[in-house]
A and B are shown apart, each in its own frame.
Chain A
Amino acid sequence: MDMKEIKKDFPILDQSIRGHRLVYLDSAATTQKPKIVIEAIQRYYETMNANIHRGVYHLSEISTLAYEETRKKVAAFLGAKDARSIVFTRNATEAINLVAQSWGGKHVGEGDEILLTEMEHHSNIVPWQLLAQKKGAILKYVSVQSNGTLDLNSIDSLISERTKIFAFTHVSNVLGTMNPVKALVEKAHERGVLVLVDGAQGAAHLPVDVSDLGCDFYAFSAHKMLGPTGVGGLYGKLDLLEEMPPMLGGGEMILEVHKEYSTWKSSPEKFEAGTPNIADVIAFSKAIDYLKKITMEVVHQHEKELTQYALARLMELEDFTLYGLKDAQHRAGVISFNYANIHPHDLGTLLDHQGIAIRTGHHCAQLLMRTLQVPATARVSFYIYNTKEDVDAFMLALIKAKEYFNRGTRSAR
């Protein structure tokens, strides 16, 4: 597959920003969308819009079918054996909240422990804090070592009799660290602890097989994998989902409604109260088709090559600080750094004016920022549409930014 051709499938990338070719290096925040996904949204509204699971007429039938086909496709893409173990949500955040509120609400009590890591996105911290505060449970954290990896040796001692669940990210959205999910799942299961994997940066970039990984829950966001915003999902082991109470009540999820009580459907309908984001779920299936055509192995390989190329060049710069592993073999296509004593925010503005979009700030990972002892970093992240030319443009822009910022008053601090 010619990766250079891929860019042409992404209309948004064919534009200039302030007179420069747009170089989009913020795919860890959200990815751009290929034409087939954009067109699918329009086609849905033009040809099949109707509420699902409700009408007996043709339009409702075909939209219901397309919605449920997407569920099957997602299940197959993630290696889930049964489509009923895929629940559609708004995003990964909502998927994690669903587990914390529904499963956690039922199974976590006073004095119980929840194990997290210091490299988590706020999405995989705050839902557990809400649960812990409500139940009087205790949060514990696996620390991050100076090389950007988890302190795996500490996990055995961090797990106790009271530990109920271990929730950690598949891939760090700041450091690009890929956590050894399967080994961690085994460790946790040996001690009777369930595992939730925050797959927001996982499913988008790596081949994922939840059955092989053995995790109990896996959360993901469509918008980080070429799909539309407003769609995400939760994979859960079916027996767990079946015994979990619903998080939201309403239409679609019920069997019978009485004045005092109702009964509800089984998974996944039980967790999908109200009219879902039908159009975007259906368009998401085109994103999966697109990724499957390229294959996730190639996606990962491409990102690895770009990361390797970028790291080699970046490390030659003076005043360059890299966070996380130096070896591209073991990291995903995310590079966090600081450069030339220019605050990330200023760097972001200086690059933006050269057409280059990067992320700056704490990346919703304030615990990790504290561990790294920096208030903020700059971050570039790659996806299938990025090329070596993008990396070259970024490098050039960095150097120009430094020249510009150090002009005039040269009195160093």
Chain B
Amino acid sequence: MALEALDDLYREVILDHFKNPRHHEPLTVHDVEEEGFNPLCGDQLFVQLKIEQGVIQDIASWGKGCSISQASASILTEILKGKKIEAVERDIQFFKDVMNRRSDLDQQDMGDLEALVGVRNFPVRIKCALLGWTTVEAALKQFKQVEGGRCKKIQS
């Protein structure tokens, strides 16, 4: 078996997102910022959200880590931007379920998440793919808790 066996993990889309990450610059104004950390490998990720009337108006993520964690975070910004908080929460849960092979989601349309589905075949890398998503989850939790959903704008 040669490196081609890895094509399912390192899809072109993933390498493209890794090398040219989207929404990579800190926002000028944000409502909440969260840092995610994977203690196993030292991967680090920052997520900023600008939320208006329950909608993710803008999003940024940047950090240091492997191609999977960074590409997943970049893909996530494209998927989540413009969505309602409830929809984002559903997406996060859906993505976790997909990664953990919960239920029979395989039949469903994965949409843009499709690129990350191959990661499931590499169990030690699933944590990498999840980092961005759990960081957004924590950011939303913080947003709801600290500000009671009514956030002051923070100038970066």
A contacts, CB < 8 Å to B? 18-20, 343-346, 349-350, 353-354, 360-362, 366, 369, 375-376, 400-401, 404-405, 408-409, 411-413
Contacts and interface: CB of A to CB of B under 8 A. Distances in A.
Contact of B3 (A354, A361, A375): A354
Contacts of A400: 3
Nearest to A16: B1
Contacts of B125: 345, 349
Interface in B15-61: 15-16, 19-20, 40-44
Contact of A362 (B15, B41, B68): B41
Contacts of A350: 3, 6
Contacts of B12: 408-409
Given A18-B5, A350-B3, A404-B6, A375 B19 contact: no
A361 B42 contact: yes
A411 B20 contact: yes
Interface in B54-74: 64-68
A405 B42 contact: no
A361 B41 contact: yes
Given A353-B1, A362-B41, A375-B44, A345 B19 contact: no
B19 A376 contact: no
B10 interface: yes
Contacts of A366: 42
Contacts of B68: 345-346
A369 B5 CA distance: 32
A203 B65 CA distance: 34
Contact of A376 (B9, B10, B20, B42): B42
Interface residues of B, number: 25
A375 B5 contact: no
Contacts of A345: 41, 43, 65-66, 68, 125, 128
Contact of B41 (A354, A376, A401, A413): A376
Nearest to A397: B3
Contacts of A353: 1-3, 5-6
B61 to A, nearest CB: 15
A86 to B, nearest CB: 33
A199 B128 CA distance: 33
Given A375-B65, A409-B12, A411-B19, A360 B41 contact: yes
Contacts of A376: 41-43
A375 B1 contact: no
A313 B128 CA distance: 32
B104 to A, nearest CB: 28
Contacts of B66: 343-346
Contacts of A349: 6, 9, 122, 125
B45 to A, nearest CB: 11
A201 to B, nearest CB: 20
A375 B9 contact: no
Interface string B118-129: 000010010010
Nearest to B19: A413
Interface string B66-101: 111000000000000000000000000000000000
Nearest to B124: A349
Nearest to A408: B12
A345 B126 CA distance: 12
B20 A18 contact: no
A411 B20 CA distance: 8
Contacts of B67: 343, 346
Contacts of A412: 19
Contacts of A375: 42-44, 64-65
B150 to A, nearest CB: 35
Contacts of A344: 41, 66
Contact of B15 (A369, A401, A409): A409
Report which residue of A20, A353, A354, A411 has the largest number of chain B beta carbons within 10 angstroms of its beta carbon.
A353
Nearest to A19: B1
A279 B24 CA distance: 55
A348 to B, nearest CB: 9
B3 A369 contact: no
19 contacts: A18-B5, A19-B1, A20-B1, A343-B67, A345-B65, A345-B68, A346-B67, A346-B68, A349-B6, A349-B9, A349-B122, A353-B2, A353-B5, A353-B6, A360-B41, A375-B65, A376-B43, A409-B15, A411-B20
Nearest to B63: A375
A343 B5 CA distance: 19
Contacts of B19: 409, 411-413
A309 to B, nearest CB: 25
Contacts of A401: 3
A404 to B, nearest CB: 4
B68 to A, nearest CB: 8
